[in-house]
Structure 1
Amino acid sequence: MSATPTPDTGTLPVIQPDLDDASAASDEATATESTHADRPKLFRRILGSLADPVLRILVIATLISRVGRGIFLTVTVLYFTLIVGLAPHEVAIVLGAASAAGVLSSLAGGWLADRTSAKRLLIVLSIVDGIGLVCYVFAHDFVTALVIAVLVGAVEQAANSTRMAIIARAFDGESRVHARAVLRTVTNVAIAVGSGIGAVALLAGTADAYRWIIVGAGVMYLAGVTQLVRLPAYVDAPKRVATEAAVITTATGSTDVAASARAERRARRAHSPWRDPRYLALSALSAVFGMQFGVGEVGVPLWIANDTAAPEVLVAVVLILNTTIVVLFQVPLSRGTHDLRRAGRVSALAAWLMAAACLVYAAAAGLPAGFAAAVIVTAAVTHAFAEVLSQAGGWGLSFELADPVQAGTYQGVFSMGYSLGAMVSPLFVTSTALTFGFGGWAILAVVFLASGLGTWAIARAAAAKAALPQPT
């Protein structure tokens, strides 16, 4: 419903700003909050957060670029069908291929962020992303649309992983999860604004209107780059990611370059997420729970239109409800989820809420229009809070359970899981809920409950292990 994170849609810190600067920033944030005490608490917290230079830059860049994303999301499917002339199955192939490309690029983006400047990488990827969106105006058939969509999908997910690596290094503890929550809130606001702008093309209905609005979306992406160039150097990985990498010397005292390189590669492998079964399990379970976005984006609209008596306009109402709840509650409900036990409890609560939402959605079938609409709204509100809580718990665990030596690679693996979930969720949702009705919704409820409680079990075990005395 809201932008999938990539979940719109970090790890552990390696380098932090000077503590005096951080203290000054905190003081400034406190002063700002007291000065604007009459403002709503949510916006006071966000404004206070902007005292941090990295978060301020990311928020402004996100606000600009995601308006462009909202524009594009609004017109994409209709542009492909009405202007380019693609058949519905061709549109599905194009969008599915773009998601598939994002699976591998998520991992590649995080991997590169550990081995090159994450700042420069994010700038380059954002520029290519903006140019790629503009290139959609040159799509005139299935093949060109497919090529452009795959490129844009791959670059978009690589940029998301890089951004997560930057957050992992620039913040620590609760401030990391808070930064993700603020950025997701801003993303939803910006996409809502962009959707309103995109409606202009829908009202005009001409090919030129669609193409000019898509060019505008690409330009908004490129405009966001003007902020990214101001990111400080400490968002990059250290020169040597393996902090204890050996420097091997010969008997004469000279450095054995080849042996040192081999030692560093061994150190990198030792810190690889692929050798961390706990993190792989977390990523897999988060990917499964991430299919709840497919429920909102595919399952609920089709369920309303084909299997209930509720009016189709309810699809828009559900979208607005979801966006509103994310904007209002993502920041406050994310507080404290850097703590492993709290992140686990939040994930468990999200699991029960999502399971309940599935069963309530199912109950709308066969009811009169008014009752069906009320039931669907109830389910949508429950679903939205499950989404907010699952994101908060997932962010906290993805940061805290990762090895700080390879922040980008760990976040790439976590993001790749979400990309896999996004790729398979439309098929999974349609083959369960939309095929078997109540029984299919019950299957979804069990899947979400199992994945959420599995995440809770991982968090609880990790917290217990962390509480044990460490050998000296």
Structure 2
Amino acid sequence: MQLLSNSDPATGVVPVQQPNTESKRGFARRLADSLSDPVLRILVIATLIGRVGRGVFATITVLFITFVLGLTVGEAAIVLGISSAVGIGASYLGGRLADSLSARRMLFWLMAAEGLALACYPFAGGFTSVLIIACIASMLSSASNATRMAIIARAFEGPARVSTRAILRTVTNVSMAAGAALAGIALLVNTPTAYRVVLIGAGAVYVIGAIPVWRLPQRVDAPKRTAATHDSSQPAVSQSAAPRLGRSPFRDPRYLVLTALAAVFGMQFGLAEVGVPLWIVSHTTAPTVLVSILLIVNTVIVIIFQIPLSRGTHDLRKAGKVVTIAGVLMALACVAYALSAGVSMVPAIALLVVAAIVHAFAEVWSQAGTWGLSFELADEANAGAYQGVFSMGFGVGAMAAPFVVAGTALAFGMPGWIALAAIFLAAALGISAIARRAAAPVAATALAAAAAPRGN
């Protein structure tokens, strides 16, 4: 498997023996080869360091603001909801600015500022200060993520883009798990001072993670662009070679529909983080500790399979197929979750573990497919804006997920789970239909080129 390549190595001869040779190489060696690209190597190092700090915050921030600062559960929910909404708007802004400013410098300053904002949590005095800090941190996080996606879109092509996202997601899961383990120090000591020290340290780690980003090469920045002209006195080649102002993603109905459907399917993250834990505690006989076990199962599956199962999803048809598979698996997972209610403990545990495994593979395939489509269907000249819009959709889905899950599965049991399964399957089939329609002209062009007579 070739994880990353910036050029086509084809020589005109079908490489019959290459797949066998590649399959014998170890995963670590192939990953090391892919990291020879300076952009990917820098992004991996920054992610590996910074996401450790993020893992700490994801684990103990809510506990800190409730148990240490004394906010109620309702106030904590308001903080999370408002800050998420602020982050949605910042996604497009970050991506749009990455099309006109230096994306590498933007990413550095956004990550550094985010780390400082996160380190301010221990100094909060109450609801208002926590809300301000959370909104600032969410805004910076969303903008930096959109900027990072713009950098990937410009620095790589075709399969390399999806592979890069798969690698970074794998690294993110490893680092977040390490951060969660470090957060256990504060949980074990369980004093306000311990929480504050660990949070400040995590913010400092996040700032350190921004340092490698400063060394990103200049090629990740957007080229200076001019509006397209129709001056017939200019040579056609010169006009086509000049950087152009791209199409706005808000004027691209196909991309907006893709974003909306991907946002709907993206609610499966909220199902895993909110719905399943509440379902286990309130509707099944399974022990509460199973919530942590299922999270570990999900993390391990993503780490092992995200990279290999993302291979080839830059191809529109394959991207559509893997999203369809993800939709079917997600529907099956919903049914398995539903069946875990009303049975004794052992069958409940077995059904929940099976559901979590199927759910994890649905997550992996859905991410791989939607990544490929989000890159391939975007206007290359406006990569940042397109990735910003796609990130906005994901944010909307994340906000809606708790309400949708609560209003279906948690409220009505089996009928609600069936409704949720239908929602996921319909979104997947819609994404697949977009992929097939987008791939049709590409396939027709390829067939026409193959059928055309060859010159000497």
What SS is found at the alignment partner of 1:370?
Answer: helix
Q: State whether residues 188 and 327 of structure 1, in contact with CA within 8 Å, keep that contact through their aligned partners in structure 2.
A: yes
How far apart are residue 467 of structure 1 and its match? 2.1
Pick one of 306, 324, 330 that aligns with 2:306: 330
Pick one of 365, 368, 383 that aligns with 2:359: 383
Partner of 1:113: 98
Partner of 2:416: 440
Partner of 2:139: 154
Q: State whether residues 126 and 221 of structure 1, in contact with CA within 8 Å, keep that contact through their aligned partners in structure 2.
A: yes
Q: State whether residues 61 and 225 of structure 1, in contact with CA within 8 Å, keep that contact through their aligned partners in structure 2.
A: yes
What SS is found at the alignment partner of 1:229?
Answer: helix
How far apart are residue 184 of structure 1 and its match? 0.2
Determine if the alignment matches structure 1 residue 396 to structure 2 residue 381: no
Q: State whether residues 364 and 373 of structure 1, in contact with CA within 8 Å, keep that contact through their aligned partners in structure 2.
A: yes
What SS is found at the alignment partner of 1:468?
Answer: helix
Match runs of 1:96-135 below 5 Å: 96-135=81-120
Q: State whether residues 344 and 393 of structure 1, in contact with CA within 8 Å, keep that contact through their aligned partners in structure 2.
A: yes
1: CA distance, partners of 2:356 / 2:145 = 27
Structure 2: any 5+ residue segments left out of the alignment? 11-20, 233-241, 450-456
Structure 1: any 5+ residue segments left out of the alignment? 1-15, 24-33, 250-263
Pick one of 76, 86, 90 that aligns with 2:75: 90
2: CA distance, partners of 1:353 / 1:37 = 30
Give the residue type in structure 1 aligned to 2:159: E
Cα deviation code 1:67-119 (max 9, x no counterpart): 00011111111101111100000011111111111110011111000010000
Determine if the alignment matches structure 1 residue 63 to structure 2 residue 39: no
1: CA distance, partners of 2:29 / 2:192 = 43
2: CA distance, partners of 1:136 / 1:44 = 40
How far apart are residue 273 of structure 1 and its match? 1.1
2: CA distance, partners of 1:64 / 1:191 = 10
**RMSD after superposition:** 2.5
Match runs of 1:401-416 below 5 Å: 401-416=377-392
Of 322-331 and 460-469, deviating more is 460-469
2: CA distance, partners of 1:284 / 1:390 = 14
Q: TM-score, normalised by structure 2?
A: 0.90
How far apart are residue 468 of structure 1 and its match? 2.8
2: CA distance, partners of 1:226 / 1:145 = 27
Pick one of 279, 284, 295 that aligns with 1:319: 295
Of 43-52 and 437-446, deviating more is 43-52
Cα deviation code 1:233-283 (max 9, x no counterpart): 00000011x5x633989xxxxxxxxxxxxxx99x74x61111111111110
1: CA distance, partners of 2:373 / 2:304 = 22
2: CA distance, partners of 1:402 / 1:100 = 24
Cα deviation code 1:195-229 (max 9, x no counterpart): 00001001111111001111111111110121001
2: CA distance, partners of 1:162 / 1:199 = 31
Determine if the alignment matches structure 1 residue 75 to structure 2 residue 60: yes
Q: TM-score, normalised by structure 1?
A: 0.87
Partner of 1:196: 181
2: CA distance, partners of 1:229 / 1:37 = 36
Give the residue type in structure 2 aligned to 1:73: A
2: CA distance, partners of 1:288 / 1:142 = 31
Partner of 2:335: 359
Give the residue type in structure 1 aligned to 2:229: A
Partner of 1:53: 38
Pick one of 147, 165, 171 that aligns with 2:156: 171
Give the residue type in structure 2 aligned to 1:246: T
Q: 1:37 to 1:459 in 2, by over 3 A?
A: closer
Q: How many residues align?
A: 428
How far apart are residue 408 of structure 1 and its match? 0.4
Q: State whether residues 343 and 394 of structure 1, in contact with CA within 8 Å, keep that contact through their aligned partners in structure 2.
A: yes
Determine if the alignment matches structure 1 residue 236 to structure 2 residue 212: no
2: CA distance, partners of 1:387 / 1:427 = 20
Partner of 1:12: none
2: CA distance, partners of 1:198 / 1:353 = 33
Q: State whether residues 102 and 154 of structure 1, in contact with CA within 8 Å, keep that contact through their aligned partners in structure 2.
A: yes
Determine if the alignment matches structure 1 residue 350 to structure 2 residue 335: no
1: CA distance, partners of 2:347 / 2:23 = 43
Determine if the alignment matches structure 1 residue 246 to structure 2 residue 225: no
Cα deviation code 1:119-145 (max 9, x no counterpart): 011011011100000111111211111
Give the residue type in structure 2 aligned to 1:360: A
2: CA distance, partners of 1:113 / 1:154 = 15
How far apart are residue 35 of structure 1 and its match? 12
2: CA distance, partners of 1:45 / 1:221 = 28
How far apart are residue 44 of structure 1 and its match? 2.9
Partner of 1:13: none
Give the residue type in structure 2 aligned to 1:115: S
Percent identity between matched residues is 55
How far apart are residue 37 of structure 1 and its match? 6.8
